Amino acid sequence: MKKVRIIDSHTGGEPTRVVIEGAPDLGEGSLDERRDVFRRNHNAFRAAVINEPRGNDVLIGALLEKPHSDQCDHGVIFFNNIGPLNMCGHGTIGLLATLRHLGRVEIGSHLIETPVGIVKTTLHNDNEVSVRNVPSYRAKGKVKVKVPDFGTVHGDIAWGGNWFFLVETPDLEFSLKNVDELTAISWRIRRALESNKITSPTGAEIDHIELFGPPAHLDAHSKNFILCPGGAYDRSPCGTGTSAKLACLHADGKLQPGEIWRQESITGSIFEGSVEIEHTQVIPTIKGSAFITGEGTLLLDENDPFCWGIPT
Ligand code: PYC
């Protein structure tokens, strides 16, 4: 029986499961090489940890890795119900809460290496964590897409550590009651991007769709709904999605360095964001809180027909 030790947390309602023991050995390469090894050779392990019956489509997993860069304190590879992710903002906040729970980090700053770059995290003394993310940018603005059974939308293609298509849809109802409709529309937009061969500048799939509407909280600037690559919606405002939004706001002249943007999620949780400019690049910082929800050991019994998860 294989044993995998995990710590679960949530960040603004979005769960993170950090594997602290029992993960596969991904070698000594760079974090993006190790992510590719994980994708190629350990898909069954990924599914066993994240998918039903042990997990669910909403969970984001995190493998704690030795960093490749000697500047960094820790390395991490995030993954979801269909494969590895490039980066994950809410997951990085959950990772810091987990490391604090384990007594492995103290209040202060810690550099974390991800497959797409180094992020600087700051653990505050009130459960809050700031993540100074990788450089973020809008690759293309106002991209026109005809979406069957919805209409024509104009969206921004932006990078915040993952690829996003950001669309203002103020006429939709941004409430938990309306999640099915928001999900259906987001899927239609994603399919329309695919069928129109609209990709990132490097040809990568734009696999996160982000819709924006008016906030419910008085002190928030906007509310979002994010459809993640595997079909679940983000319960948090999404760290990489908020970073992409901040980059677009800055490109439009609507957010100056140091100004605060409060991004509300569909569940009502809030990330606070701002940007700074370094060598002409936009560097977003997002701040949110995470709470530990569980610790335990997963048991992987090869005789169990669903040992490696129910395929999604
Ligand atoms: O917080 O960056 C994020 C994220 C990506 C997917 C789910 N959450």
pLDDT tens track for 113-143: 999 999 999 999 888 999 999 999 999 999 9
Measure 241 CA to ligand 1 centroid, in angstroms: 7
Q: Which two tokens stand for residue 70?
A: 């000697």
Closest ligand 1 atom, residue 234 Cα:
7
Residues of the chain with pLDDT > 70, as a percent, come to: 100
pLDDT at 110: 98
pLDDT at 86: 97
Catalytic residue numbers, as ranges: 88, 238
Residues of the chain with pLDDT > 90, as a percent, come to: 98
Measure 257 CA to ligand 1 centroid, in angstroms: 23
pLDDT at 17: 98
For the chain, the C-alpha Rg in angstroms (whole number) is 19
- Average pLDDT of the residues of the chain: 97
Name every protein residue with a CB atom under 6 angstroms from any ligand 1 atom.
14, 60, 88-90, 162, 228, 234, 236, 238-240
Which protein residue has the closest C-alpha to ligand 1 atom 5?
A: 88
Whether pTM > 0.85 for this model: the answer is: yes
Measure 280 CA to ligand 1 centroid, in angstroms: 25
pLDDT at 125: 86
Closest ligand 1 atom, residue 88 Cα:
2
User: What average pLDDT score do residues 256-279 get?
Assistant: 98
